[in-house]
């Protein structure tokens, strides 16, 4: 299928159909099961910047003290600034100590991000994981109000809302202030919870970013090596279905990761697929995976192995 250029809905941003995710670069062994050194992380971002992938997804909250943003910032500095046509997408997060997610914290979060990234504005800024907010994001003085102000000041070109819970993302999208939605782990070979949300967004020309096509690694490394799906243990059926998917892929000589990528990148519902990689070699490897032919019969077999809706994350 290969890498394509796409337009990210009504944001009008031109992006590649793959976007490099950076949470594994923040070295979070509790989520991914391994450490990543800063040098390896910077080299990975440099490999992305040297590839046809033109979008990088990061966040104020990835790792201790903005570790992922620092790595992205370091790589940007080493290449002398953001290369033409590359879109850096970051997200505002609550204060890690107090969980404050007020409008004032949103502003501070952005200021921290800009400093770490070495930028004075970002083309796209997301509200991160609103389902975990302890304050009302819609209230006067709250997160939404401040994000709109930041966009109106031009410090962010467009707003996105990023998270898991489909219901909460929909609530924010209904304000009509967000040009882009990002959902994770809910539109994959295993879980389809986000399909109606993506279709709804599509009808309104809201850009769609589908993150974690491997569910955080189960659908790339296999359930034996990555037993978590969507960052937690999910019970036997999830690992069992993933293993059956891997067996089906093995029988046809197709890497499971290639099939998982094909599901998202090939979907009419998705503008860009955000996947995590934590070594420079992965970048070229991923571009190769995208070229892997996936037989129709394998697609059908994998489709039949998707989890039943009662096991979806929702
Ligand atoms: N709420 C949000 O906004 C939100 C939530 C989740 C994710 N995201 C974004 O989306 C990105 C993607 O999510 P994710 O990184 O958690 O999960 P993912 O993309 O589903 O999976 C990443 C995992 O897959 C592994 N992997 C990648 N390519 C592989 C290959 N060819 N073979 C074997 N393993 C491979 C990576 O391993 P290696 O480290 O060994 O390369 C990593 O452990 C994140 O990095 C983040 O930027 C956003």
Q: What is the largest CA-CA distance in the chain?
A: 57
Separation of CA 22 and ligand 1 centre (Å): 8
> For residue 222, what is the domain's CATH number?
3.20.20.100
First vs last Cα of the chain: how many Å apart?
A: 29
Dihedral of the alpha carbons of 46, 2, 238, 234, in degrees to the nearest 10: 30
Using 50, 70 and 90 to split pLDDT, how confident is the model at 106?
very high
**The pLDDT of residue 142:** 98
**The pLDDT of residue 123:** 98
Number of domains in the chain: 1
- Percentage with pLDDT > 70 across the chain: 100
Indicate the top mutation candidate among 277, 289, 313 to test ligand 1's pocket, ranked by most ligand atoms within 8 A of CB.
Answer: 277
Compute the average pLDDT of residues 178-199: 98
**The pLDDT of residue 88:** 98
- Residue 1, pLDDT above cutoff 90: no
Can you tell me the distance from the alpha carbon of 131 to that of 314, in angstroms, rounded to the nearest whole number? 12
Answer yes or no: is the C-beta of 166 below 6 A from any ligand 1 atom.
no
Using 50, 70 and 90 to split pLDDT, how confident is the model at 182?
very high
Partner residues linked to 92 by β-bridges: 127
**The pLDDT of residue 47:** 98
**The pLDDT of residue 160:** 99
Compute the average pLDDT of residues 172-200: 98
**What 3-state class would DSSP assign to 273?**
strand
Nearest CA among 175, 158, 261 for reference residue 215: 261
Average pLDDT, the chain: 97
**What is the reported pTM?**
0.98
**What 3-state class would DSSP assign to 207?**
strand
Nearest CA to ligand 1 atom 44: 21
**The pLDDT of residue 236:** 94
**The pLDDT of residue 91:** 98
Its domain, for residue 67, covers: 5-311
Compute the average pLDDT of residues 256-274: 98
- Percentage with pLDDT > 90 across the chain: 96
Nearest CA to ligand 1 atom 28: 277
Answer yes or no: is the C-beta of 183 below 6 A from any ligand 1 atom.
no
Answer yes or no: is the C-beta of 182 below 6 A from any ligand 1 atom.
yes
Query: Are the C-beta atoms of 90 and 69 separated by less than 8 Å?
Result: yes
pLDDT tens profile 282-296: 999 999 999 999 999
- Residue 185, pLDDT above cutoff 90: yes
Separation of CA 260 and ligand 1 centre (Å): 12
Lowest-pLDDT choice from 27-31, 78-82, 125-129, 261-265: 27-31
Nearest CA to ligand 1 atom 2: 163
């Amino acid at each position: 299928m290969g890498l394509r250029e796409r337009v990210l809905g009504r944001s009008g941003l031109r992006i590649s159909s793959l976007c490099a995710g950076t949470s594994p670069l923040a070295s979070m062994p509790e989520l991914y099961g391994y450490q990543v050194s800063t040098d390896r992380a910077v080299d990975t971002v440099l490999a992305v910047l040297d590839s046809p992938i033109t979008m990088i997804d990061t966040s104020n909250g990835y790792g201790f003290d903005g570790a992922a943003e620092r790595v992205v910032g370091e790589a940007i500095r080493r290449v002398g600034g953001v290369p033409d046509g590359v879109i850096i997408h970051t997200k505002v997060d609550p204060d890690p100590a107090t969980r404050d997610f007020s409008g004032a914290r949103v502003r501070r979060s952005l200021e921290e991000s800009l400093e770490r990234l070495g930028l004075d504005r970002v083309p796209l800024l997301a509200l991160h994981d609103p389902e975990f907010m302890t304050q009302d994001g819609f209230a006067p003085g709250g997160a939404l109000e401040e994000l709109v102000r930041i966009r109106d000041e031009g410090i962010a070109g467009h707003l996105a809302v990023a998270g898991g819970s489909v219901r909460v993302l929909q609530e924010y999208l209904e304000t009509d202030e967000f040009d882009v939605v990002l959902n994770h782990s809910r539109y994959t070979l295993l879980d389809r919870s986000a399909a109606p949300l993506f279709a709804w967004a599509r009808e309104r020309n809201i850009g769609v970013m589908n993150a974690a096509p491997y569910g955080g690694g189960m659908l790339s490394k296999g359930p034996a090596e990555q037993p978590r799906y969507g960052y937690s243990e999910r019970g036997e059926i999830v690992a069992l279905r993933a293993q059956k998917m891997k067996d089906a892929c093995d029988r046809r000589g197709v890497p499971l990761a290639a099939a998982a990528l094909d599901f998202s990148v090939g979907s009419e519902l998705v503008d860009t697929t955000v996947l995590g990689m934590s070594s420079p070699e992965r970048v070229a490897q991923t571009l190769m995976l995208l070229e892997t032919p996936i037989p129709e019969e394998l697609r059908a077999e994998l489709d039949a192995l998707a989890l039943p809706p009662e096991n979806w994350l929702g």
